[in-house]
Amino acid sequence: MAVPSSGPLSLTSIHAEFNEDDYYVNADGYSPSLTGLSTGGAPLNEAINTYNNSADRPNGSAPHAMSEFYAYNHDEPNPAIGGWMVDDFSEDPTGTRSSFATSLGDGLSAPSDAGGAQTAARPVWSELGGGTSHVSNDYIKMAFVNNNNHSQWRTAHVDNRTPTASSNLSVASKNFVWEFSFYMASGGNKDLVFFIEASSGMSTTAWASGAPWTGYKFQFDDSGNSRIWFKKFLAYNNQPTIYSSGTYAFSKNAWQTCKIEHTHSSDRWKLQINGTTIINGAGDSSFDTFYGYRFWTAKQANGSTDNRVDYIKTYQP
């Protein structure tokens, strides 16, 4: 029985929520302290259950207050969903974020991970270059900015599994999928890029001069032909093309679902837009360990237009 969401609170009953998982029972006669309950360890071996959203549990910092326990549930279940790193862009992507409440926002479905991977925490992103914004707990935007770093969102949480998160993701022995929804308005010169970092030392402060620059680049070309370019970065000025799609590979002024799949046994890459295969069997084995994801838009864009990303899901198919 969880702590009530409003009304008077009892310190003894908060202790009971820890000790008996029932706010209305206190069977052991223990005399609790607010500090001990707020920081864990009192009762003994009873830590704060961090599966509660951050707003529903004490922050652990003095001064402590019983009001921090509103809606706290000591036996709150693991809210993990399927996938390695998933984001629905609910809440500020750059700040402290809540765990998933067993489902995604916007009515999105969580991926079913073939390897059984689960993630509970939404990742934290960095804003680089400028021109970035977060809209209505719903999607991120990258607009025109006259900055050499362009307009970028970046996360290093490529393996955000619970409880085995890692600072990198290796696809050397597993098939893997990156899926995201994007929107490109008409007009301007604002190619959208999804970049998978293959170096742990890439610059986060300078786009043009950052070294080393290695990884895979998927570039959605905002020309009249709407091509998709699949490139690899060997260095900033060395970006050979692995595959170039045909014309009109995606639509503008509409949300598109992009699904990128890597097959480890043959090091082949496949890209689909709204279920239609655009790139099929492009081969490259240059990189199989990744350290970060970036979305960015072109520097020389039209000030009245922008690129948007609504969600990203990463998982084993």
List, as one string, the DSSP characters of 127-184: EESS-EEEETTTEEEEE----TT-EEEEE--SB-BTTT-BS-EE-TTS-EEEEEEEEE
Q: Is 58 helix (H, G, I), strand (E, B) or coil?
A: coil
List, as one string, the DSSP characters of 211-265: S---EEEEEE--STT--EEEEEESBTTB--EEEE--S--S-SSSEEEEEEEEETT
Considering the domain architecture, whether residues 148 and 224 belong to the same structural domain is answered as yes
Look at the chain and report how many structural domains it folds into. 2
Between 130 and 31, whose confidence is greater? 130
Residues constituting the chain:
317
Residue 165 · residue 159 · CB < 8 Å: yes
Q: What is the mean pLDDT of residues 123-132?
A: 93
> Using one digit for the tens of pLDDT, what is the confidence trace for 197-225?
999 988 887 666 666 789 999 999 988 78
Q: Would residue 6 count as lying in a domain?
A: no
Considering the domain architecture, whether residues 253 and 105 belong to the same structural domain is answered as yes
Considering the domain architecture, whether residues 286 and 204 belong to the same structural domain is answered as yes
Q: Would residue 75 count as lying in a domain?
A: no
Q: Would residue 5 count as lying in a domain?
A: no
Considering the domain architecture, whether residues 29 and 160 belong to the same structural domain is answered as no
- Domain finish residue from 69, 95, 113: 69
Q: What is the model's pLDDT at position 136?
A: 87
Q: Is 35 helix (H, G, I), strand (E, B) or coil?
A: helix
> Using one digit for the tens of pLDDT, what is the confidence trace for 226-249?
999 999 999 888 899 999 999 999
Query: Which range (58-62, 193-197, 252-256) has the least confidence?
Result: 58-62
Considering the domain architecture, whether residues 62 and 110 belong to the same structural domain is answered as no
Considering the domain architecture, whether residues 148 and 57 belong to the same structural domain is answered as no
Give the residue numbers spanning the domain of 36.
Answer: 11-69
Q: Would residue 164 count as lying in a domain?
A: yes
Q: Is the pLDDT of residue 59 over 90?
A: no
* Average pLDDT across the chain, whole number: 87
* Residue 120 CB contacts under 8 Å (≥ 6 apart), including other chains: 51, 78, 79, 80, 81, 99, 100, 162
